[in-house]
A and B are shown apart, each in its own frame.
Chain A
Amino acid sequence: MPESRLPNIRVWLLGALVVASLLMIAFGPVFLDRFALNVLSRSMIYAMLAVTVDLLWGYAGVLTFGQAAFFGIGAYATAMVLTHLGSSPELLLLAFVLAILVPLVLGVVVGWLSFGYGTTPLYATVISLVLPIVVTQVAFSGGQWTGSSSGLVGYATLPLSLAGYFRLTGICLLAVAAAAWIFVRSDAGKVLVAIRDNEARCAYLGLNASRIKIALTAVLAGVTGLAGFLFANASGVVAPENTGFVFGTELVIWTALGGRGTILGPVLGTIGIDYLSASLSGQLPFLWKLVVGALFVAMIILLPNGLAGLVGKILPRSKGSRGEGGPLRQAQVMQVPQDVVDKPPLLTIHDLGKSYGSLNVLQGINLTVQPGELVSLVGPNGAGKTTLMRCLSDGTESISGSVSVRGANIAGLAPDAIVALGVGRKFQVASVFDSLTVAECLRMARAARYRPSLVHSSQELDLPSAAVEILKLTALDGMLDRPVSALSHGLKQSLELTMVVALEPQLILLDEPTAGLTKTERMTIGTILKKLTGELGLAAILVEHDLDFVREISSRIVVLHQGQLVLDGTVQDVVNSELVKAIYSGGAHD
């Protein structure tokens, strides 16, 4: 593939934009009138908020109206300090610290409420609706402390002129936007997209998605609080509507119109719409709101990625990086040594039972798996195979009996903690990240082991040798920069298997890895599995319907029937068993 021969238009545009904004920040006050300076200072503060909304919604997929609440808290904290305590430099510093710290701490609480294990995506939105309503009511009922419905006004602020505030907010906006721009391109930024795409897969790659989203919420709440500090100083008035739910929806509207999932879009969208609103609302207040509302509806339906999405389609794309700018990155594969396998046994299942109400899906399962074994789990549909796999990889399932991995009982452990014990799970339907490239997917599998950088975007890809081998066998090594959405079904299956192996697990759980694959693809997967267990000493448990495949690769076969383990033996034992023949011909219903 030819590397970036064309000079990259995007990089040039971006550079020009940064220079232009710096010039604007420096010389804007020279030619802008008072009205424009005032409004633009406010618009730029709002644009900082839009960036935080965009990181949560456009990148991490969490639709939030709650940024208004954190903003209001930051602004109120500032105004309350300056009104009730005074405005000496020390107190201004205190206001600054509180404006960031209070939202940050509250952000942790809100994040914990919103993203507990097993909560739905909608629930985070619900919480983000309730939060501004609560904060507004608190502001209303705060009496003298918060100024009730008229808010706080007339306190001393930072000793800056109109031009000074314009420059200060401009620099802050530029800093926030630049930090966000760098972050979303970093390895850590890709984790957000991975969580948005497929949170379950993230958990089974050992990533604690809840904790990541809580951290994101908290940090962005802090940034929002900083914007609140600026606002309280620049505007000199803080009122309940600055913290309300309606303001929260406006932030989302600006972000959507500018273009979610980009940094520049929401910034320009917010400044443009807020400035136009201020200029036009004098003459046609209702008509203008009507136009914005109608545009918003049309945009959500027809152009979900906003104006920036449209521009992104028109501008030439930089090859391989899907519109990110920067030179083509050819991932380089390096080999790292495989972990040494522990002493046996790897997995001990003792008297495992699982029931849904009065229906017993699994009963009295006892099984021990040693390193190097390739155990096939067979049985007719409804025997409980997939349920058993789930009980082995998710400790939060309510079960009777116990499951231990390398001697540790997994009861109560979330999937990511079990991955940390050395268990990798491959799902029946290929579970990968459709918005990422092959290399980025594989990097995700390493993210739990090696903390991804917040600023740096890796050019290399470090993988254990076994994973490298699978890439070569499946020819995926030549497609590292290809978006996953363009892969065939078989390649996605192989990619997921590679991701699981890249976790360096000691036990791999595979749920029908060959379903829907061609004969050749099956052979490849079979070879890989034999190699992983036979040569590298991993253990694997495989759910499989294809008995020929099972016979060829297994070292041991376990037969599950009506939730019970009816046979456990070598390939020969099982293949010649009358019981198995009876089960598969549908006879053995006891």
Chain B
Amino acid sequence: MTILLDVITTAAILFVVAAGLLAIFGVLKIINFAHGAWLTVGGYCAVATTGMGLNPWLALPVAFAVGSALGGITEVLVVRPLYRRPLDAILATWGLGIVVGQLITLWFGRDVQFTPNLLSGTINVFGLDYSFYRLFMVLAALVVGLGFAVLLEGTRLGLSARAVIMNETLARALGIDTAKVRLTTFMIGTGLTALAGVLLTPLTSVDPDMGLAWLIGAFMLVMVAGSSFGALAVACLVFGGAQTLVSTFVSPVLGGITVAVLCALVLRISPKGFARA
């Protein structure tokens, strides 16, 4: 029973962490390797907010605002010139991640920072005491997933974004301002990633490299998911589940590479991954 809860909550955490990367990859076809840095930025937003004595929950909107503002600058200065060179975009965003990481180090120092728990204690589920916060992450994942569903299906921006995903040339010919769609998507993606960074703080320590640990896992999941949030949810459940099982029954070290290895194998067999393209 605990295993089942572990599987679901692990998948939820992975989903929250990878969602911002997927939004950007889905629409822009750019792999944002600064993803880890945006997570770290979110973590330090939590540190800064609580450092000023504010309510820790306030870190969520702050992180989203800071993340999307930085994302906007990044899209214009770094990503925009590289749309035709996707491999170079990986490298440039990776370099940007280094810069952001070093700026954070210069500002906050190298030490591990601690933030107060957003939700503490355990809750009784089916006769088991389980971490309240991990269960809260399931809710967060549902909110993020449904939020994107509403955004994509129900708004004008979503319609434009879907048009850009399907056929960018045609979308532009139809008068959709693809540059604006890209900018907005990138900002939402980075904002969401910074927000995910805040949500991670109760689960990991905050240090300048905290995002790096999540980057590869998120990247592999997005490769498998393509541009679909549904596929990402499935991938998180399947591979997050596998990770939990391997960590519990085989070894935590092997568990750490389960997601990456399994995703690589899936992509070898079916290059499109789980996406129904």
A, B: real partners: yes
Interface positions of A (Cβ within 8 A of B)? 63, 113, 116, 118-123, 125-127, 129-130, 133-134, 137, 140-141, 245-246, 249, 252-253, 256, 286-287, 289-290, 292-294, 296-297, 300-301, 304
Q: Would A290 and B99 be within 8 Å (CB), given that A126-B223, A301-B82 are in contact?
A: yes
Question: Once the chains are docked, how many angstroms separate the CA of A289 from the CA of B261?
Answer: 30
Q: Would A63 and B87 be within 8 Å (CB), given that A134-B261, A289-B102 are in contact?
A: yes
Q: Which of A118, A296, A304 contacts B85 (CB 8 A)?
A: A304
Contact between B91 and A293, CB atoms less than 8 A apart: no
- Interface residues in B219-277 (C-beta closer than 8 Å to A): 219-220, 223, 251, 253-254, 256-257, 260-261, 263-264, 267-268, 271
Q: Which of A122, A123, A134, A297 contacts B92 (CB 8 A)?
A: A297
> Shortest CB–CB separation between residue A434 and chain B, in angstroms?
15
Q: Would A297 and B96 be within 8 Å (CB), given that A119-B271, A120-B271, A245-B216 are in contact?
A: yes
Query: Which residues of the partner chain A approach B256 to less than 8 Å between Cβ atoms?
Result: 137
Contact between A290 and B260, CB atoms less than 8 A apart: no
Return the chain A residue nearest B92 by Cβ: A300
Question: Once the chains are docked, how many angstroms separate the CA of A140 from the CA of B219?
Answer: 22
Contact between A134 and B95, CB atoms less than 8 A apart: no
> Shortest CB–CB separation between residue B274 and chain A, in angstroms?
15
Question: Once the chains are docked, how many angstroms separate the CA of A137 from the CA of B82?
Answer: 33
> Shortest CB–CB separation between residue A516 and chain B, in angstroms?
20
Which of A63, A120, A133, A301 is the most central at the interface, judged by chain B CB atoms within 10 Å of its CB? A301
B155 lies within 8 A of chain A by Cβ: no
Query: Which residues of the partner chain A approach B260 to less than 8 Å between Cβ atoms?
Result: 129-130, 133-134
> Shortest CB–CB separation between residue B211 and chain A, in angstroms?
13
> Shortest CB–CB separation between residue A306 and chain B, in angstroms?
12
List 15 A–B pairs whose Cβ atoms lie within 8 Å, in order of A's numbering. Answer: A121-B87, A122-B223, A130-B260, A133-B216, A137-B253, A252-B91, A256-B91, A290-B102, A296-B98, A297-B92, A297-B96, A297-B99, A300-B95, A301-B81, A304-B85
Query: Which residues of the partner chain B approach A133 to less than 8 Å between Cβ atoms?
Result: 216, 257, 260
Question: Once the chains are docked, how many angstroms separate the CA of A134 from the CA of B264?
Answer: 12
The number of chain B residues with a CB under 8 A from chain A is 37
Contact between B271 and A123, CB atoms less than 8 A apart: yes
Contact between B267 and A123, CB atoms less than 8 A apart: yes
New A-B contacts (8) at CB < 8 Å, excluding given A290-B99, A297-B78: A122-B223, A126-B264, A129-B219, A137-B257, A253-B95, A287-B106, A290-B98, A293-B96
> Shortest CB–CB separation between residue B207 and chain A, in angstroms?
13
Q: Which of B88, B103, B212, B253 contacts A300 (CB 8 A)?
A: B88
Query: Which residues of the partner chain B approach A140 to less than 8 Å between Cβ atoms?
Result: 253
Contact between B253 and A290, CB atoms less than 8 A apart: no
Q: Which of B86, B92, B94, B264 contacts A301 (CB 8 A)?
A: B92
- Interface residues in B174-194 (C-beta closer than 8 Å to A): none
> Shortest CB–CB separation between residue A286 and chain B, in angstroms?
5
Query: Which residues of the partner chain A approach B268 to less than 8 Å between Cβ atoms?
Result: 113, 116, 119, 123
Query: Which residues of the partner chain A approach B81 to less than 8 Å between Cβ atoms?
Result: 301
Query: Which residues of the partner chain B approach A134 to less than 8 Å between Cβ atoms?
Result: 257, 260-261
Return the chain A residue nearest B260 by Cβ: A130
Contact between B220 and A126, CB atoms less than 8 A apart: yes
Contact between A293 and B251, CB atoms less than 8 A apart: no
Q: Which of A121, A127, A245 contacts B264 (CB 8 A)?
A: A127
Return the chain B residue nearest A63 by Cβ: B87
Which of B95, B99, B223 is the most central at the interface, judged by chain A CB atoms within 10 Å of its CB? B95
Query: Which residues of the partner chain A approach B267 to less than 8 Å between Cβ atoms?
Result: 123, 126
Return the chain B residue nearest A121 by Cβ: B87
Question: Once the chains are docked, how many angstroms separate the CA of A63 from the CA of B81?
Answer: 19
Query: Which residues of the partner chain A approach B91 to less than 8 Å between Cβ atoms?
Result: 63, 252-253, 256, 296, 300
Contact between B102 and A286, CB atoms less than 8 A apart: yes
